[in-house]
Structures are given as structure tokens and as C-alpha cells.
């Protein structure tokens, strides 16, 4: 298994030198969304606290880094940490409100959505952060400004982010913290009865998750060169973040990666081949049907299903 993983990483490292720039861009988004999905996985998959408002953290991280860069000349390499910290602060607030007041399941989902929507409406209306026009970043290609002339550098950054987040989740799974998270997901009352400080554990998961997502926001801002409230705080982005780990297998290490490697190419292919002429929109129907099919036939996610197919080898 480890050999397979190393081989896969080697392939990914070498890929940009053999394929064209378009495929490199597709891979960048696969890695990036896998990274965001992995960050979400900590609190949404392992801890079982479904958040449908993670776009708020992307937005805060991105806006913070972009504003610091444009107004204070602070390099995004530094700004990203501040963005992550601010996102973590919001995560702490949402987490505290949600967990302290005992919101579970769908109610917690809606709380996260409400906060993301509030961020969106505020960003849309406050001129100081760009309002509906959003923020535009000047293209300079200067590495000190987290900009690169060559697409491949972004590829490696995104790859590193994805691998680092995956390594972190892998480590968490093997640590006591991971055991607490899983236990809380399965039966929170039992955990409390056993004396686990569930509030503290969940808060930690939420803060970690939102911090990492905030850093992702900086990448988003400096790769796309523009931030718009509806795009970066909106529900569609939250859906993209959440869909990949769920399809791939929430609460597993490989889930977000698998989900991203399945869904992103699927979206690309269905858009390239089905979006013709008077049938615009057909490709999104295909996307929707595929989602339904995955849910019906692989409800635990793709990764656990794959594990069942591969017989366990003796160590």
C-alpha cells in the first residue's frame, strides 16, 4: 500500500512535464478542492459536524490576504497566515455558538450556512472591501507576491497543500484526537458519559479545519486574481467543498482525494462534451444524475466501497 502511494506521488510530481497546460490547470483544481475537502473532513467527516458554510473561511482567508497585499503591501506568503488565523477565529465563534448551544445535524448545517450568507451580504455591501465589484489583483508574476509566470509552480504548491493536509489527517486518525473525533461522530452522549470534553474536542476540530480552509483562500485569491463575494462566500462553493469528501468517503483519509479525482474530471468531461448549442445545461443534468447514482449505489462513499473490493493482504 505504501509503495502504491509513493508511486502515485512520483507520477503526480512528474506529470506537469509531460502534459499540456490545460491538464495542469485541471489538476491544480483537483488538488485544490481535495485540499479544501480534506480540511473540511476534519470537522465534517471525522467529527461528523456537517458544515455547509466552509466557503466563509475561504472568503475570509482570501480577502484578508488580498487586502493586506493591496493596502499594506504585505506579501501573501505572510498574509496567508493572518487570513488563516482570521478564518479560525470565525470558526471558533461558529463552533462555540453551535456546540455550546447543542446544535446537531441539520440545525448545525443551517447555522454554518447562515454565517456564510451573512459574510457574503456584508462583503457585498461594504465598500472598503470592494463591495460587489470585489477585489482584483494585479498580475505581476512576482514570486514574492505569490504570483508565478509558470502554471506549473501553482501545480506544485497545490500538490504540496493537498499532500500536507492528507498527512495531517492521517496523523490525526492515528492519534488519540482522531479516536475522540470518531467516537463523537458515532455517539456523542456516550462520549460525554465517559468523561470526554466533547466541546473542547469539537472546537479544536473546527478551528483546525477553518484555519486550513482560510489558507486555501489565499491560494484561491492569488490563482484566480479576483475575489467576488458571490463566488467566494456563496453556497455553490460550499457545495463543491463538501461534495468531494462525501462522494469519496467522509471520515476517511483518502475520501476527499478520491472524491476530487472522480468529480473534477467528470465535471470537465461533461462540460466539454455535453454543453453544445441549444442543449446548454445538459452537462449539469449529467453531473446531477451522476451524483444521484453515486449516492444510491455507494452511500458510504467511494473509498470504503473500493476497500471492500480489494482483499486485505497480510501485512
Query: Considering only residues 10, 11, 22, 187, which one is a binding residue for another protein as defined by CB under 8 A?
Result: 22
Q: Site mask, another protein, residues 74-103, x = CB under 8 A?
A: -----------------------x---xxx
Query: Considering only residues 12, 85, 291, 305, which one is a binding residue for another protein as defined by CB under 8 A?
Result: 291
Q: CA–CA separation, 67 vs 309, rounded Å? A: 49
226 touches another protein by CB under 8 A: yes
Question: Which residues, 31 to 50, sit near another protein by CB under 8 A?
Answer: 50
Q: CA–CA separation, 132 vs 95, rounded Å? A: 28
Q: Whose Cβ is closer to another protein: residue 125's or residue 197's?
A: 125
Question: Which residues, 139 to 178, sit near another protein by CB under 8 A?
Answer: 139-142, 149-151
289 touches another protein by CB under 8 A: yes
Residue-wise over 217-253: b if at least 16 C-beta within 10 A, else e? bbbbbbbeebbbbebbbbeebbebbbbbbbbbbbbbb
Question: Which residues, 52 to 71, sit near another protein by CB under 8 A?
Answer: 52
Q: CA–CA separation, 40 vs 256, rounded Å? A: 9
Query: Considering only residues 11, 192, 295, 308, which one is a binding residue for another protein as defined by CB under 8 A?
Result: 295
Least distance (Å) between residue 2 CB and another protein: 29
Residues pairing with 227 in the sheet: 135
299 touches another protein by CB under 8 A: yes
Q: CA–CA separation, 301 vs 297, rounded Å? A: 9
290 touches another protein by CB under 8 A: yes
Query: Considering only residues 7, 10, 138, 269, which one is a binding residue for another protein as defined by CB under 8 A?
Result: 138
Count of residues interacting with another protein (CB under 8 A):
83
246 touches another protein by CB under 8 A: yes
Q: CA–CA separation, 108 vs 110, rounded Å? A: 5
Helix (H, G, I), strand (E, B) or coil at 191: helix
The CA distances from residue 226 to 7, 219, 261, in Å, are: 36, 11, 25
186 touches another protein by CB under 8 A: no
Helix (H, G, I), strand (E, B) or coil at 226: strand
Q: Whose Cβ is closer to another protein: residue 85's or residue 243's?
A: 243
131 touches another protein by CB under 8 A: yes
Query: Considering only residues 5, 105, 171, 269, which one is a binding residue for another protein as defined by CB under 8 A?
Result: 105
Torsion of CA 108, 112, 118, 121, to 10 degrees: -130
Amino acid at each position: 500500500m505504501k509503495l502504491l502511494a509513493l508511486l502515485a506521488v512520483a507520477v503526480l510530481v512528474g506529470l506537469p512535464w509531460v502534459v499540456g497546460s490545460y491538464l495542469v490547470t485541471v489538476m491544480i483544481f483537483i488538488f485544490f478542492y481535495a485540499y479544501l475537502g480534506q480540511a473540511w473532513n476534519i470537522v465534517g467527516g471525522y467529527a461528523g459536524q456537517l458544515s455547509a458554510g466552509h466557503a466563509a473561511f475561504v472568503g475570509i482567508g482570501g480577502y484578508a490576504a488580498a487586502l493586506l497585499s493591496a493596502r499594506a503591501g504585505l506579501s501573501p506568503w505572510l498574509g496567508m497566515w493572518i487570513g488563516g488565523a482570521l478564518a479560525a477565529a470565525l470558526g471558533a465563534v461558529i463552533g462555540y455558538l453551535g456546540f455550546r448551544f447543542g446544535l446537531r445535524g441539520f440545525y448545525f448545517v443551517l447555522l454554518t450556512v447562515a454565517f456564510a450568507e451573512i459574510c457574503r451580504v456584508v462583503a457585498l455591501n461594504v465598500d472598503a472591501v470592494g463591495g460587489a465589484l470585489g477585489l482584483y489583483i494585479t498580475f505581476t508574476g512576482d514570486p514574492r507576491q505569490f504570483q508565478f509566470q509558470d502554471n506549473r509552480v501553482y501545480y506544485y504548491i497545490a500538490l504540496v497543500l493537498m499532500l500536507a493536509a492528507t498527512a495531517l489527517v492521517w496523523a490525526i486518525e492515528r492519534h488519540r484526537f482522531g479516536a475522540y473525533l470518531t467516537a463523537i461522530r458515532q455517539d456523542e452522549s456516550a462520549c460525554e458519559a465517559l468523561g470526554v470534553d466533547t466541546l473542547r474536542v469539537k472546537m479544536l476540530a473546527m478551528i483546525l479545519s477553518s484555519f486550513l480552509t482560510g489558507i486555501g483562500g489565499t491560494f484561491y485569491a492569488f490563482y484566480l486574481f479576483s475575489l467576488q463575494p458571490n463566488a467566494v462566500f456563496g453556497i455553490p462553493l460550499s457545495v463543491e467543498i463538501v461534495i468531494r469528501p462525501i462522494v469519496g468517503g467522509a471520515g476517511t483519509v483518502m475520501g476527499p482525494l478520491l472524491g476530487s479525482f472522480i468529480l473534477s474530471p467528470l465535471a470537465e468531461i461533461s462540460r466539454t462534451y455535453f454543453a453544445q448549442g441549444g442543449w446548454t445545461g445538459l452537462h449539469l443534468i449529467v453531473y446531477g444524475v451522476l451524483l444521484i447514482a453515486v449516492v444510491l449505489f455507494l452511500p458510504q462513499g467511494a473509498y470504503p466501497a473500493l476497500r471492500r473490493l480489494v482483499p486485505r493482504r497480510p501485512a
